[in-house]
Amino acid sequence: MYYEFRFYAVAPGRLSDEMALVRNVAVDPAPDLPAGEEGSLWDRYEVPRPVGSWITLTGRDCPGFLYIVPWESLDQRDASLPRFWTDPLWAKRRAELTGGHTLVNSIQTLIFSPLPQALALRDKPSPLPFGGVHELRIYDLLTGDQPEAQRVLAEVDLPAAQSLGAQILGFFGMVLGSDRPRLAALLAWPDLDTQLRAAEALDSHPAVTAQREDEYARAGRFIFDRLDQYLLEPMEWNSPRPNLGARA
């Protein structure tokens, strides 16, 4: 199982255009379908429905737009997505909306895999999507530290976040992308206020503090280097479900 994180640095002022474009293509019925039939342009090329779509509230390169596409196979991905890019309806729709100007300044395409430890962090399956405010945390670490860092996040830092009100949507390792090794956690909070209070409390949480002290005592350094963090607003037309819809 792979999750393709598609992270768009949208040209400022053009977020509405970008969201309209992605929503029309990935979610809404294709414009050339006979009335009553369903299926988006993405469905036509067997591109799976993204497991969530978000805009960034804080972080680098705002306004940002993130969506995550689940794939069982990258060969399947490469048989599907590039065909979609050359679809005539898509090209036409995109040309109309961009008006020949830049719509997106840059795109990061990252492949993450769910980590085995994610199973222990799962929530009860539910057909209801998560609203609230979501948070993407990307942890940088040193090469060689990945197994221990996975354990520490899964057993200490993420349970501490859960105790402060977070639901863990996913816990991933970066497979394709820059600055590996990197781990990522996607959290859902009931609202921004809870996230802000919890993120602060997390930094002084007794279990987290004791873990950091233990790391320093053993290795003379801490296991995590930089934390890159984005607060995300889930789009109500494609809010993620618990565990990103993964089956139990």
Partner 1 sequence: MTATLAPRVTIEEYYELRLYEMLPGRLPGFLPLMEETAIPQFAVHGIPRPLAIWEGHAGPMAPLYAYLIRWRSLDERMARWNAFYADPLWSERMGANFASGPRLRRTHVLILRPSHTWASLVDPAVTGPQSGIHELAFHNLDNDNPARGHDAIAQTDLPFLQARGGHVLGTFMTWYGGGMNQAITVTSWKDAESWRAASVALKSDPGITRLHDASRTRRGTTLVQGSDVHLLRPLPGWEPAANFGRV
Q: Min. distance of Cβ 79 from partner 1 in angstroms?
A: 33
Q: Min. distance of Cβ 199 from partner 1 in angstroms?
A: 4
What is the spatial order of strands in the sheet that 64-71 belongs to? Answer: 64-71, 2-10, 104-114, 167-176, 182-189, 133-140, 227-234
Q: Name which of 28 and 61 has its Cβ closer to partner 1.
A: 61
Report the distance separating Cα 132 and Cα 186, nearest Å: 13
Q: What are phi and psi of 187, to 5 degrees?
A: -115, 145
Report the distance separating Cα 63 and Cα 91, nearest Å: 23
Q: Name which of 76 and 229 has its Cβ closer to partner 1.
A: 229
The burial class, CB within 10 Å (0-12 / 13-18 / 19+), for 218 is: exposed
Q: Min. distance of Cβ 150 from partner 1 in angstroms?
A: 16
Half-sphere exposure (CA, 13 Å, Cβ side) for 217?
6
Contacts with partner 1, residue ranges (CB under 8 A): 9, 11-17, 19, 55-63, 99, 101-102, 105, 133, 135, 191-193, 195-196, 199-200, 202-204, 208-209, 211-213, 216, 220-222, 224-231, 233
Q: Name which of 73 and 105 has its Cβ closer to partner 1.
A: 105
Q: Min. distance of Cβ 210 from partner 1 in angstroms?
A: 9
Q: Name which of 32 and 200 has its Cβ closer to partner 1.
A: 200
Q: Min. distance of Cβ 188 from partner 1 in angstroms?
A: 15
Report the distance separating Cα 109 and Cα 35, nearest Å: 35
Q: Name which of 74 and 95 has its Cβ closer to partner 1.
A: 95
